[in-house]
Amino acid sequence: MKDNYLLSTTTMVSMDPSTAIKNYQFGERAKSELIVMSQLTLALTGFTEQERIGGRKMLLMLMEAVRGELQFAHNSTGHHEYTKAISALNDAISLTESGQYEQASEKIAMAISASTTPAQEAWQVLSEHGLL
C-alpha cells in the first residue's frame, strides 16, 4: 500500500530584505487606501445628485493620488503586481467618471488583491530572515 502524502506548494520568492521591507510597506499602505476608496465609491450611491457631483470629484482626486503611490511603489521595487493594481485602478477611475460605482468598486477590489500580493510575498521573505 502506498502512503498518501499531502504536498504543500509554496511560492519561492526572490527578494532581498530591503526590497521586502519596501514591498510590505507599499503593499499594506495601498491596501488600506484602496479599501477606504472602495467604501467611499459605494457610499456615492446613497448621495443626492448634488452631493454626488462633489463627492465624485473628491473621490477621483483620491484615486489619482493612490495611483501615483502605486506607480511609486512599482518604480521603487519593480514588482509587477503594482502595474496590475494600477491598471485595475485606471479602469475604476473611468467607471467612476461615468457613474458606474458598483463596477468601479469591483475594479478596486482587483487592485486590492494585486497590491496585497507583494506584501504577502514580502512577509514570507521577512519571516525567513527572522525579521518578523
Percent of the chain with pLDDT over 90: 84
Q: What pLDDT is attached to residue 3?
A: 47
Q: What pLDDT is attached to residue 85?
A: 98
pLDDT per residue as tens digits for the range 47-58: 999 999 999 999
Q: What pLDDT is attached to residue 4?
A: 41
DSSP per position, the chain: -PPP--PPP-------HHHHHHHHHHHHHHHHHHHHHHHHHHHGGGS-HHHHHHHHHHHHHHHHHHHHHHHHHHHHH--THHHHHHHHHHHHHHHHHTT-HHHHHHHHHHHHHHHHHHHHHHHHHHHHTT--
Cα-based distances in Å from 122 to 1, 4, 11, 15:
41, 32, 12, 8
pLDDT per residue as tens digits for the range 13-49: 688 999 999 999 999 999 999 999 999 999 999 999 9
What's the whole-model pTM score?
0.87
> Which domains, and CATH codes, for the chain?
17-128 (1.20.120)
Q: What pLDDT is attached to residue 132?
A: 82
pLDDT per residue as tens digits for the range 41-88: 999 999 999 999 999 999 999 999 999 999 999 999 999 999 999 999
Q: What pLDDT is attached to residue 93?
A: 98
